[in-house]
Amino acid sequence: MIDFALGDELELVRATARDFATDQLRGALRDHESQRELAADVHQRFAEIGFATLEWPEGLGGSDLGSLARCVVAEELAAGCPGAALALDPLGPALYPLLELGGSAALQDFALPLLTTPGARALLVWTGSGSRARLEESGGSVTGQVPWVPADRVDLLVGLDETGAWAISEGIATTRVRGAGLRAAGASSLQIENAPLRAHWREPAAAARALARARLYSAALLVGVMREAAEFSRDYAQQRTAFGRPIAHHQALAFLIADMAAAVDSARLLLWDAALALDAGEGAEERCAGAFLEASEQALFVTPNALQILGGHGFMQDYPVEKSMREARTLSLSWGGVDAARECGGREILEHTQPLALLAEGG
């Protein structure tokens, strides 16, 4: 029966992630952004907690806690700094093609070594519909360009499209770029010349699942980013006075703040709904696409308005909200962006006669 309680285990996971974000990330967010990396001890603490292997099977040393746990952790970390959340997670969303297409063997061969290499990063590149990456795979190698990845080093590059995935780890030249957002994770363009394929999997259904999980990961980061921006600007609006009262008590802002709170909660509920469907093994591609889309749209409503509430201060880098706005815009470009996600949901809905029926359709 309908129950929104996360349960003791996930509440503990959430509290741990929240504390980590508070202690290690939020206070240093501008340092992390300008240095484009995090200190070794932050990486070490992250590894000790076991956040990187939350979704890994227990047989490979993971905690097999599923997608809901990932969503909870990613939101909390991104509320601290989404770039740092990516920098700290050696696999990030690149885990999903390995897991869905390659299985345990791929985790063992490709992922496990990265966990023990300090600062190592695996990157996922979407090469399907909506991508601006230009990569061609032929004759057992990959050639082409990727305009941007949120990293300054690439130990493993996983390409994913509608039909399957591949993995390479050599022949990748990185050129540092400034990056519009997520700079704490780094920012590079990639030039790839005849990089030999280490693996190549073709399985459209599994590729769709991997994409769904990648979208969910980004959606969770977006929820964290917008939550932080909403709360920061709300606190500010209660302290800043204009025309004799806190600006939050002018109805134009009071209503906006209410709508921002509703935006964050709506996005989070769709996120959890999708994670639950994924964890139950239901076909969840459409829900994950919807969660990503909702998180993107709402974050692009919330974060510019958070900046707006701070007025001139919001535009200055003394405050974190301008960063939130850039992070939100950048995150929502992932995996073909919002249009690709819209297309996923829009195609799927036509297969239904009663897409939101409380009881199984027609049953």
How far lies 137's CA from each of 61, 189, 196, 339, in Å? Answer: 33, 18, 9, 25
Span of 24-32, 89-97, 263-271, 327-335 interacting with other proteins by CB under 8 A: 263-271
Binding to other proteins (CB under 8 A): which residues in 64-93?
68
Q: Which amino acid is at 169?
A: S
If one asks whether residue 257 binds other proteins (CB under 8 A), the answer comes out as: yes
∠ CA 260-263-266, rounded to 5°: 150
Q: Which of 316, 298, 163 is nearest to 236 (CA)?
A: 316
Residue 183, sorted as left (phi over 0), alpha (psi -120 to 50) or beta, turns out to be alpha
Span of 74-82, 141-149, 250-258, 320-328 interacting with other proteins by CB under 8 A: 250-258
Tokens describing residue 214: 């990648």
Chosen residue from 49, 199, 269, 333 binding other proteins by CB under 8 A: 269
Nearer to other proteins, 1 or 312 (CB): 1
Q: Which amino acid is at 319?
A: Y
Give the span between the Cα atoms of 150 and 189, in whole angstroms.
9
Map residue 97 onto helix, strand or coil.
helix
Chosen residue from 46, 166, 272, 335 binding other proteins by CB under 8 A: 272
Other Cβ atoms less than 10 A from the Cβ of 40: the count is 10
Give the span between the Cα atoms of 78 and 261, in whole angstroms.
17
If one asks whether residue 290 binds other proteins (CB under 8 A), the answer comes out as: yes
Nearer to other proteins, 121 or 234 (CB): 234
If one asks whether residue 308 binds other proteins (CB under 8 A), the answer comes out as: no
Give the span between the Cα atoms of 132 and 155, in whole angstroms.
21
If one asks whether residue 130 binds other proteins (CB under 8 A), the answer comes out as: no
Span of 24-32, 215-223, 319-327, 348-356 interacting with other proteins by CB under 8 A: 348-356
Nearer to other proteins, 270 or 325 (CB): 270
If one asks whether residue 252 binds other proteins (CB under 8 A), the answer comes out as: no
Span of 15-23, 50-58, 152-160, 252-260 interacting with other proteins by CB under 8 A: 252-260
The residue count for the chain: 363
Beta strands 156-160 and 122-126, pairing class: parallel
Enumerate binding residues for other proteins (CB under 8 A). Answer: 1-7, 10, 68, 234, 237-238, 246, 248-249, 251, 254-255, 257-259, 261-262, 265-267, 269-270, 272-273, 276, 290, 293-294, 342-343, 345-347, 349-350, 352-359
